[in-house]
Structure 1
Amino acid sequence: MEKTRSIQMVTDFKELHSNFFILPNAWDAASAKIFEQCGFKAIGTTSAGIAVSHGYSDRNMPFDTMLAVVRKIVQAVNIPVTVDIEDGYGETPEEVAESVRQVIKVGAVGINLEDATMDPQAPLYDIQVQQKKIAAIRQLGDRIGFPIFINARTDPYWIKHVTSSGRLEETVKRAHAYQEAGADCIFVPGIREISDIRTLRKEISGPINVLAGPELPPAHELEALGIQRISTGSGPFRATVSLLHRIGQEMLERGTFEQMTSKVLSYDDLSQL
């Protein structure tokens, strides 16, 4: 993507965080294009959706597989795309920055970097380790003249191995550290209680991102609380896979095709995507 247009894309994406918006997460070119046609102003990717649709479990997908999908998504739409890079696809800050450089190269405007380790004994990365990753990404952007949008995800509410006591305090502490290192937005998946969200908003300056879910307050309440961004994560992908399962069950158990044929895109419409 031509650099001037890429910089305009990231500028537009940052501007979205001045207000409130919903960011859907796509897993391929078709899902991205459908979200764009719905009217969304930007798109994220879902690492779980991309991984599972290519035969991998989340956090076990090869980087090249993810990058190839991101390239196709960017080419399919005319709105900003931000990429879930899990914990950075690298052991060192330099390796993480190189992963981000390649993501930028294919046209992404931002990244989502999480601090979960997937290790039950130490479920979260050390704060200083995560700070160094974020700082390396910010330094990369400065070096190449590209203001990449860094969404720093912190997982005390998300990781099952972290006890509920102290989650809010740990989240705020990590948020401050990540902002100090250069993060543009703080992502807190798993937070649900309005009281916690209200405290989070009071304690953190700058944009806050939460994850859509069945127990999350509705969008208008979150907007009133001062939240800037709701991501959908793997939700749309899981809903799509669930629909496929119901279609299969209907065909085998009832011999009918209603869910497959009712209110669906025609073949011609599909071809236009």
Structure 2
Amino acid sequence: MASPRPSTADKRKTYRALHETGCFVLPNPWDIGSARYLQHAGFKALASTSAGYAFAQGLPDAAVDRDMMLAHLRDLAAETDVPINADYEGGYADDPGEVAANVKLCIDTGVAGLSIEDATMDDSIPLYDFDLALARVRAARAAIDKTNSGVLFTARTEGFIRNRPDIDETVRRLKAFADAGADCLYAPGVRSREHIEAVIKCVAPKPVNILMPANLGFSVRDLEQMGARRISVGGSLARVAWTAVARAAKEMLDPGTFTCFDGTMTNAELNKLFREDAKKRNLS
């Protein structure tokens, strides 16, 4: 008989505990299959990727609407036994009150954590004004507190991936977001040791997420020694899959060969993995 599955409250408690000491990798699946595989591989928590999910729907990043994203998050939370962190983009609203309402909807999906970013998706004004960005963080914090859910809140500042790579402004925003009650801080796009250490130091002892979108020359141990508590990869795993498909498609078209299939996992391996997973979940 299958073991009892952890409750939503259990997963939220586990997720918080992961942020208390050490450093852990938080990989980003883009659908249920990739999420279950990463859980099977041994990762203790997972995070959604807005880009990876968008690509799987044939859409560019940031083109998935709120209700589509909520359905996706609900599926991930329901179909996995490890905590799920939601890449909830900008909260699908500009106004802090609307952000708060949408945060409540996200919590209702069963996620263990969520992030809100300060990007506007408007290239002419890529980041929300400082005061509005801070008000949005405060609104998200208040919304989470009202639910008494224990959901872990990550506040993100996006300057380094929105053509505003200003470390001083990044530090200013992270400090303000930390003071406003963010549990974890995140500045995607910082790549140098100097910048990584600066963002970690400025909000210590609060945990910081570091994005590894490519091989930047740092190992998990390196980042842990710098003080990172959490490492995510964003849409990179999804891009690994898309890159393999693109290379295979190109080879099949020209020169018309199939060496792209050499070394791939077999149907038998995947069937065994997912069959055993289903049995554990008492679904077969």
Q: Output the TM-score relative to the length of structure 2.
A: 0.87
Q: What count of residue pairs does the alignment treat as equivalent?
A: 266
Poorly superposed stretches of 4+, deviation over 4 Å: none
Instruction: Check whether the contact 1:74–1:107 (CA below 8 A) recurs between aligned residues.
Output: yes
Distance of 1:196 and 1:143 partners within structure 2: 35
Instruction: Check whether the contact 1:150–1:185 (CA below 8 A) recurs between aligned residues.
Output: yes
The 10-residue stretch of structure 1 (70-79 or 250-259) with the greater mean CA deviation from structure 2:
250-259
Q: Does 1:53 align with 2:53?
A: no
The residue that corresponds to 2:117 in the other structure is 114
- Root mean square deviation, CA, Å: 1.8
Distance apart, 1:271 and its partner CA: 4.9
Structure 2 portions without partners, runs of 5+: 1-5, 278-284
The residue that corresponds to 1:194 in the other structure is 193
Instruction: Check whether the contact 1:193–1:216 (CA below 8 A) recurs between aligned residues.
Output: no
3-state secondary structure, aligned to 1:25: coil
Q: Does 1:182 align with 2:175?
A: no
Distance of 2:140 and 2:11 partners within structure 1: 18
Instruction: Check whether the contact 1:192–1:216 (CA below 8 A) recurs between aligned residues.
Output: no
Distance of 2:98 and 2:251 partners within structure 1: 47
Mapping for residues 116-131 of structure 1, pairs under 5 Å: 116-131=119-134
Alignment deviations for residues 206-251 of structure 1 (CA, whole Å, 9 cap, x no partner): 1111111232522211111111111110000011011011121222
Structure 1 portions without partners, runs of 5+: none
Instruction: Check whether the contact 2:104–2:147 (CA below 8 A) recurs between aligned residues.
Output: no
- Partner residue of 1:154 out of 157, 174, 183: 157
Alpha-carbon distance change, 153 to 63 in structure 1, aligned in 2, over 3 angstroms: same
The 10-residue stretch of structure 1 (39-48 or 57-66) with the greater mean CA deviation from structure 2:
57-66
The residue that corresponds to 1:225 in the other structure is 226
The 10-residue stretch of structure 1 (34-43 or 188-197) with the greater mean CA deviation from structure 2:
188-197
Instruction: Check whether the contact 2:118–2:133 (CA below 8 A) recurs between aligned residues.
Output: yes
Distance apart, 1:144 and its partner CA: 1.9
Q: Does 1:94 align with 2:109?
A: no
The residue that corresponds to 2:30 in the other structure is 27
Instruction: Check whether the contact 2:12–2:112 (CA below 8 A) recurs between aligned residues.
Output: yes
Distance apart, 1:15 and its partner CA: 1.3
Q: Output the TM-score relative to the length of structure 1.
A: 0.91
